[in-house]
Amino acid sequence: MSEFQGKTAVISGGAEGIGLSVARAVGKQGMNVVIGDIDEPQLKLAEQLLCDEGIEVLALPLDVTKPEQWQQIATSAQERFGKIHMLVNNAGVSGTPGVIEKTNIQDWNWVMDVNLMGVIYGTQTLIPLMKQHGEGGWLINVASMAGMIGVPMGQAYTASKVAVVGMSESWRAELTPQNIQVSVLCPAFVQTRINLSSRNKPSEYQTASDNEQEMSPARAAMAEHMQKVIDRGLAVEVVGERVIEAIRANELYIFTHPNYRTVLQKRFEAVDQAFERAAASPLVSHLLDEEIDGFM
Ligand SMILES: NC(=O)c1ccc[n+]([C@@H]2O[C@H](COP(=O)([O-])OP(=O)(O)OC[C@H]3O[C@@H](n4cnc5c(N)ncnc54)[C@H](O)[C@@H]3O)[C@@H](O)[C@H]2O)c1
């Protein structure tokens, strides 16, 4: 019997895209699936699709930026399925790419509230329940390749995803003794509607520029370029299956794009060279012999 059979997964942003792909993959493994999403019409379509595939599904409205809605998801999931064994913090938004001075604070707040605080609220609500039942489980946070290396013009998105990678590393160290396996999914481009995230932007984050009929030419060109890259991206169906493969192998970092290794290697080389220079500095070189404590 599969290690997933009969257990329950809660997936935020599960109405479409990567969240739905993971829902289908874990459902195929025999898990009960709870999908939460801010987009209720899309959520209904996803519920029907999963049902048609013979997956036990509960679909609930969820805005990940609202802790009380996470609480409702937890209560309803437990009422329907009993224990919760997996949390997939997937809901995310791209924000509006742009230069420093043109990225307004409402956009920063939206991206950080969904991509960072949403992950924190979900984890704070559901992990104690997994600790309580003591059967172990999985915490899968969806970051991005942008969590591994900064994306030009995507400052808020990068900041949120770097934070998700960091928290995942921290939580992995904390939760391994409880038999809760933590992984962080870091895809590059995948064919989803991420480039159209503002379709679900709540009014409290909207600004005058959101309502402008026409985008500036620079922003329009950037959006068009992003769309082309996403259209050429990985087929979304593959991502859920890749997650199953990787969590079976207890991988911390789940990569979907092995071709990005060269990009990261350049970053690692730069980091390594910076350490070389610190080691050669008469100001701090004496620390080379000091013991390191408190890091993984
Ligand atoms: N598609 C890519 O190329 C790509 C690459 C790297 C990382 N990611 C990450 O994958 C995750 C899923 O994105 P996707 O590509 O499937 O995009 P998507 O837009 O297709 O799906 C995102 C889902 O999240 C939901 N959502 C948005 N705001 C929400 C909120 N406040 N509360 C609850 N649900 C909300 C949307 O309604 C949607 O169903 C995101 O975290 C994204 O940053 C995507």
Is the full-model pTM beyond 0.75? yes
User: In ligand 1, which atom is closest to the CA atom of 13?
Assistant: 24
157 among known catalytic residues: yes
Q: Which residue, by CA, sits nearest to atom 25 of ligand 1?
A: 13
- pLDDT tens-digit readout, 6-20: 999 999 999 999 999
CB contact set of 293 (below 8 Å; sequence gap of 6+)? none
Backbone angles phi, psi at 193, to 5 degrees: -100, 25
Q: Which of 43, 39, 42, 151 is nearest to 95 (CA)?
A: 151
How far is ligand 1, taken at its centre, from the CA of residue 267, in Å? 26
115 secondary structure, DSSP code? I
Give me the residue spans of the domains in the chain.
8-284
pLDDT(237) > 90: yes
From residue 276, how far is each of 48, 149, 287 by CA, in Å? Answer: 56, 21, 13
d(CA 121, CA 38): 15
Instruction: Say yes or no to pLDDT of 227 above 70.
Output: yes
pLDDT over 70 (residue 211): no
Ligand 1 binding pocket includes 233 (Cβ within 6 Å):
yes
First vs last C-alpha separation in the chain:
33
Whether 43 has a pLDDT exceeding 70, the answer reads: yes
Tell me if the domain spanning 8-284 has CATH number 1.10.260.40. Answer: no
CB 253 within 8 A of CB 187: no
Give the integer Cα–Cα distance in Å for 107 and 67.
Answer: 20
* 240 CB near ligand 1 (under 6 Å): no
pLDDT, one tens digit per residue, over 70-119 is 999 999 999 999 999 999 999 999 999 889 998 899 999 999 999 999 99
| 8 Å CB contact between 119 and 162 | no
Which of 132-141, 221-230, 257-266 is least confident?
A: 221-230
Percent of the chain exceeding pLDDT 90 equals 88
Cβ neighbors of 216 (< 8 A, separation 6 or more) are: none
Question: What local confidence, expressed as pLDDT, does residue 104 receive?
Answer: 92
